[in-house]
Structure 1
Amino acid sequence: MTSGTKILVTGATGYIGGSVLSRLLQRADFASFDIRVVVRSPEKAKKLEDFGFKSIIGSITDEALMVEAVSDVDVVLALADSDSLVATQHTLKGMKKRFDQTQKPPIFIHNSGTAIYMEYANGMRSTDTVYDDMNPDQIETISPAQIHRGVDLEIIAADKEGYIKGYVVVSSTVYSVATGPLFDAKVSNPHSVQIPAHIRMAIARRQGGMIGDGKNVWPNVEIHELAEFYNILLNTCIQSPNTLGHGREGIYNLMNDEYDNYQLAEAISQALISLGLGENSAPSTFSAEEEKKYLGPFAPAFGSNSRCLANRAKSIGWKPVKTTKDMLASVKPEIEVLIASGKTAMFDFSAYLPQNADK
């Protein structure tokens, strides 16, 4: 990256944000960059400053704070909330101000998710529909009402207007316990949502569970390989921007393999047996009562399909090697970490509903 590049990062205390920042800290030229982070906790802000980041204490939904912070940087890495339309609009307002001042479009890199490709199947089947990130015409057939999609479209529209260069990174099921300096310092959360949610439900019922027959299929990506993609994308955005698709051609799927939900539920069941916490090495279908108790309005999503290809992401030099075998092998160690840290309580899924993203 160009020395002195100003980068603003949101989501530093999260799983993906902490992993990306930990990867940037490994760069030999890290000290030459001006990396700022928006964080709500003064205590964590101080810890981030100790690592060489500049902290801005506040919320991503604070318009004045975000517009001012964004208008002073070259790049924004939005890693906090895939569904915060308010935060995205504040960021775009700051970027428009930056563009008006410099006549150079700043870079907006946003973390979205493969839930944009969801097709409901009640866990009873897979699908032949596979979304290729090299095919923007296909991706444009997705309904604007699909989860995450509304925010993605705001960024693509701003790119079309010409005052930003927008990149939407579509993360799939991200797995394994994140490691790195920000996790060692207890700044960032080392766990994803999707697989730990399955684990917590399985601990409660002493057996892995699934919607229907668990035949629905999702893509996956390992967290440290995901962080490496962000490092590559940043480099390419700044050093060779004319070689890189952006806007409607700037969708980058992050996946390297697929799994069906029976495989995941079975791996969790077997891990629980080996740890003395399970009653059956084979998974079972959630009852209607369990779906309501554990998943609520998210039950259809846990029985859905989401299939895609990462051809565009791999075309810029990303070379992931971890597969579903690695994902399944990560289950038992993650259970052990969750138990040791006392993090086995059920998620409050209501916090992840799109309408609650800005609350």
Structure 2
Amino acid sequence: MSPQVIFITGASGYIGGEVVDVMSKKHPEWTLITLVRDAEQAKLVKGKYPAVETVIGTLDDHNLLVEEGKRADVVLQIASADHIEAGRSIIEGMSKGKKGHYIHVSGSGILHEVPNGYGNPSTKIYSDVDDVMEITSFDSTHVHRDIDASVIEAGIKFGIPTAIVSPVTIYGVGHGPIKTRSLQIPFLTQGILSRGKAFTIGEGCNIWDNIYITDLAEAFRILTEEALKPHGGKATWGREGYYFTATTDHKWVDVVKAIAKIAHERGAIPSEEIDKLTPEEASAIHPWAPLLWGGNCRSKGDRIHALGWKPIGPTVYESLPEMVDVEIKTLGKSVVATTF
């Protein structure tokens, strides 16, 4: 029996790098092929994972993606949640080859809502089973929705089983070959360190789900294992093949308090005090601030749990000291910052 071929985009990224790390350890019998931008990235990937194959290209290289889609048993498009043509190209290629399974990364930002104003909690928790038809019918005002729809439509058009994995707030320092930092908490930490004082948007009582980076990679591993079984195993594919990955949730004010305490203890900010900013004020710190830290994204990953997924990573609060230290080092915060 020939080795099963897994094509992974995004190996240089935070999620993709962690997926490569997990899969190379758990399934050395698989042939892992990764898309990288240039020879330097290829060198870094091969240096850490000698058995992993690399191909050089981008998500805009239609012909390359078609060819890689042809020879793959499973494709994990983890490089971008917002690149429509990449998924279409790969799925088209898959239809001309082994007709395998396609797994796409999205994001629970699709659920973002502020029904009670920025900084205030919402009560709605979306299940990827009970609410899947609503989720996959959102209009284009929802982040990532256009791309999710294109994946489902392309899968139907070309007869390829698809699944969409929608991560929540991802935390922890990754173990991949290149990028090891996420977005939301590192950007928040950078903002706090740079302004010299912690902040929330409004009261900061809005709620997001979260997941440790390795637990997320394990979710992709489990889905890939199911994809390689006859008829896609026990996983759900197609329009209802939607997977949230929540472990637990947090209020942003609690995360901010923890970051402020750690940063103050490190001497990186002068106090643990927290300012309450308007969305407009926070946007001056980061243009995505209202989406990243101002609203609510609440979900239940019923489908992935049903496949036996059991997250075991440290909590977000246990991971914060290491994450804050990375940002302090990155910004060179060797002295107490100046507030304004």
2:332 aligned with 1:338: no
- 1:10-36 CA-to-partner distances (Å, cap 9, x unmatched) read 000111001000001212x41x32211
Letter in 1 for 2:11: A
The alpha-carbon deviation at position 341 of structure 1 amounts to 4.2
- Preserved CA contact (<8 Å) 1:75 1:108: yes
The alpha-carbon deviation at position 3 of structure 1 amounts to 5.5
Q: What pairs with 1:137-148 in structure 2 (closer than 5 Å)?
A: 137-148=133-144
Letter in 2 for 1:123: Y
Letter in 2 for 1:91: I
Name the residue aligned to 1:46: 43
Q: What pairs with 1:82-97 in structure 2 (closer than 5 Å)?
A: 82-97=81-96
Q: 2:87 & 2:154 partners in 1: Cα distance?
A: 11
- Preserved CA contact (<8 Å) 1:4 1:34: yes
Name the residue aligned to 1:113: 107
2:188 aligned with 1:192: no
Q: 1:157 & 1:343 partners in 2: Cα distance?
A: 47
The alpha-carbon deviation at position 332 of structure 1 amounts to 1.9
Tell me the number of residue pairs that the alignment of Structure 1 and Structure 2 aligns: 328
Where does the alignment leave 5 or more consecutive residues of structure 2 unmatched?
A: 334-340
CA spacing shift, 1:331–1:318, aligned 2, 3 Å = same
Q: 2:332 & 2:143 partners in 1: Cα distance?
A: 27
Q: What pairs with 1:147-186 in structure 2 (closer than 5 Å)?
A: 147-161=143-157, 163-179=159-175, 182=176
2:106 alignment partner, SS class:
strand
> So what's the TM-score if we normalise by structure 1?
0.85
Letter in 2 for 1:220: N
Q: 2:43 & 2:168 partners in 1: Cα distance?
A: 32
The alpha-carbon deviation at position 122 of structure 1 amounts to 4.2
Letter in 2 for 1:248: R
Letter in 2 for 1:68: E
- 1:222-258 CA-to-partner distances (Å, cap 9, x unmatched) read 0011111111111111125242211122111011101
Where does the alignment leave 5 or more consecutive residues of structure 1 unmatched?
A: 345-359
- 1:98-137 CA-to-partner distances (Å, cap 9, x unmatched) read 3xxx5xx321111111001110354332112111011222
- 1:61-86 CA-to-partner distances (Å, cap 9, x unmatched) read 11122112222212111110100112
The alpha-carbon deviation at position 161 of structure 1 amounts to 3.7
Identity over aligned pairs, percent: 27
Q: What pairs with 1:1-359 in structure 2 (closer than 5 Å)?
A: 4-27=3-26, 29-30=27-28, 32-50=29-47, 51-98=50-97, 102=98, 105-120=99-114, 122-135=117-130, 136-161=132-157, 163-179=159-175, 182=176, 187-240=177-230, 241-286=232-277, 290-322=281-313, 326-342=315-331
CA spacing shift, 1:137–1:287, aligned 2, 3 Å = closer
The alpha-carbon deviation at position 139 of structure 1 amounts to 1.9
Q: 2:117 & 2:179 partners in 1: Cα distance?
A: 31
Letter in 1 for 2:105: N
> So what's the TM-score if we normalise by structure 2?
0.90
Q: 1:145 & 1:233 partners in 2: Cα distance?
A: 28
- Preserved CA contact (<8 Å) 1:112 1:148: yes
| Larger displacement relative to structure 2 (291-300 or 18-27) | 291-300
- 1:143-178 CA-to-partner distances (Å, cap 9, x unmatched) read 233111111111222333461110100100000111
Q: 1:126 & 1:287 partners in 2: Cα distance?
A: 16
The alpha-carbon deviation at position 288 of structure 1 amounts to 6.2
- 1:159-204 CA-to-partner distances (Å, cap 9, x unmatched) read 334611101001000001112xx4xxxx321100110000000001
